[in-house]
Amino acid sequence: MGIRERLSGNEAVAYAMKQINPDVMGAYPITPSTEIPQYFSAYVDNGEVDTEFIAVESEHSAMSACIGAQAAGCRAVSATSSCGLCYMTEMLYVAASDRLPITLAVSCRALSGPININNDHSDAMGVRDAGWLMLFAETNQEVYDNYLQAMRIGEAVGLPIMICQDGFITSHAIENIELVETEKVREFVGEYKPQHCLLNKDEPMAVGAYATPVYYMEAKRQQAQAMMDAKEVIKRVGAEFAAMTGRQYGLIEKYMMDDAEMAIIIIGSSAGTAKQAILELRAQGKKAGLIKIRSFRPFPAEAIAEALKDVKAFAAMDKDDSFNAHCGPIFAETAAALYAAGVSAPKGINYIYGLGGRDVRVESIQHVFAELEKISGSGDTGDTYRYLDVRE
């Protein structure tokens, strides 16, 4: 039986950390993720965990500390947002290429400039190709549940993992949440027993050694294989988590997609707004549906292509922009997924929305579906690269 509680997303992550009791936390504050190490440092100070808390001088140093700790054979965690994640970028690539399953909580926030501290996904999407696994959450419950599954997933394939939530929208808002009993959490997550680590005296090794052209490409191929293998691991760990809690998670969530003729693809808290819009449209007899991406890395290409194969028109909703004069990352990867699967039926458009915390209303989503309805009837997409709710 779970424990009923009311927590913000940041509190939920810190509590999950407490239950897991990691070995090392490297931390540097940045809004809106600051509360995570703040709450967790209190657990350290109170003796509720055995974690070595390392307060460093920058986010680059925070990830560097985690890399050293994980390479030594410890479980290492951190948290960051926005420009802090950018500052970590060099070390994010190092962590992934060294196959170190660090767990990083990201409270997503817009990047400068102009200076802005509100939510969008430009920080996480800016490092989407660093080689990290990336799970996104719609609600505080999902943030907590994702974190409990994260270490199992990352350690199984030897890759670091980001647990992303929407800054302020879930990170600071308080919601009802069901916690898992700590003894069950520790049994589920298990102990970290790395196959190779620097402190293993019986196996002298180096981490982060120079790779000549003779070896570099093979190392990257192995890293790519680990990302591919992660799809099945995510599904398997999600099934085990469902058996323990009754809450089921996969690579994507489909909402009213069985007979949908038009659909949107979305990430994060805006999915809740979209679901309400779809309920209202369904009451009007309109066959609208939604695909929510939980795992952006690995990208669920096959699952999305299968979900869209009978849809007439779709809109990929990007809460960031690639500034390529063409589209955002969700649209680009969805289009590639459809092409690879040989699915040519649905007409697709892209909306850039919610940048810098711009409000996303039910009416906003209904406007997107109204455009999809026109496309379904005419077969003409018009401009595929669009901004939503922007003053022209």
Look at residues 185, 219, 245 and tell me which one is the last residue of a structural domain. 245
Band (220; pLDDT cuts 50, 70, 90)? very high
Q: Please say if the pLDDT value at position 345 is more than 90.
A: no
Query: 229 and 138 share a domain?
Result: yes
The range of the structural domain enclosing residue 288 comes to 252-387
CA distance 210 to 61: 21
Residues 155 and 260 in one domain: no
Question: What would the pLDDT profile of 134-157 be if each residue is shown by its tens digit?
Answer: 999 999 999 999 999 999 999 999
Query: Tokens for 163?
Result: 């647990």
Instruction: Tell me the mean pLDDT in the region 225-233.
Output: 98
- DSSP H or E stretch at residue 295: strand 295-297
Structural domain ending residue among the three candidates 227, 245, 263: 245
Residue 363: phi, psi to the nearest 5?
-65, -35
Does residue 374 surpass a pLDDT of 90? yes
Does one domain contain both 190 and 52? yes
The contacts of residue 199 (CB under 8 Å, 6+ apart) are 72, 73
Same domain, 179 and 323: no
Statement to judge: residues 215 and 335 lie in one domain: no
Q: What is the pLDDT of residue 1?
A: 66
Return the pLDDT at 195. Answer: 87
Check whether residue 48 and residue 180 sit in a common domain.
yes
Residue 49 domain-assigned (yes or no): yes
Is residue 392 domain-resident? no
Residues 103 and 9 in one domain: yes
Query: Considering the domain boundaries, does residue 226 fall inside one?
Result: yes
What integer is the mean pLDDT of 217-223?
A: 97
Prediction pTM value? 0.97
Domain's final residue, options 213, 229, 245? 245
pLDDT of residue 344: 83
Asked if residue 149 is part of any domain, the answer here is: yes
* Residue from 67, 134, 135 nearest 101 by CA: 67
Average pLDDT score over residue span 302-313: 97
Same domain, 77 and 60: yes
pLDDT, mean of residues 57-77: 98
The answer to whether residues 277 and 222 belong to one domain is no
Query: Do 198 and 65 fall into the same domain?
Result: yes
Q: Per-residue pLDDT tens for 175-195?
A: 999 999 999 999 999 999 998
**Across all residues in the chain, what is the average pLDDT?**
97
Give the pLDDT band of residue 127 (cuts 50, 70, 90): very high
Q: Residue 300: give its domain's CATH number.
A: 3.40.50.920
Average pLDDT over residues 58-86: 98
Give the chain's domain count.
Answer: 2
The reply to whether 382 falls in a domain is yes
Same structural domain, 17 and 85? yes
Q: Identify the H or E element spanning 178.
A: strand 174-179
Statement: residue 329 has pLDDT above 80: yes
pLDDT over threshold 70, residue 242:
yes
| pLDDT of 2 | 87
Sign of CA dihedral 25, 29, 35, 41: positive
Average pLDDT, integer, range 262-285: 98
Prior bond of 194 cis (ω within 30°): no
CATH number, position 158: 3.40.50.970
Q: How confident is the model over 204-226, as a mean pLDDT?
A: 95
Looking at the fold, whether 50 and 179 belong to one and the same domain comes out as: yes
Which of 296, 302, 330, 2 shows the shortest CA–CA distance to 145? Answer: 2
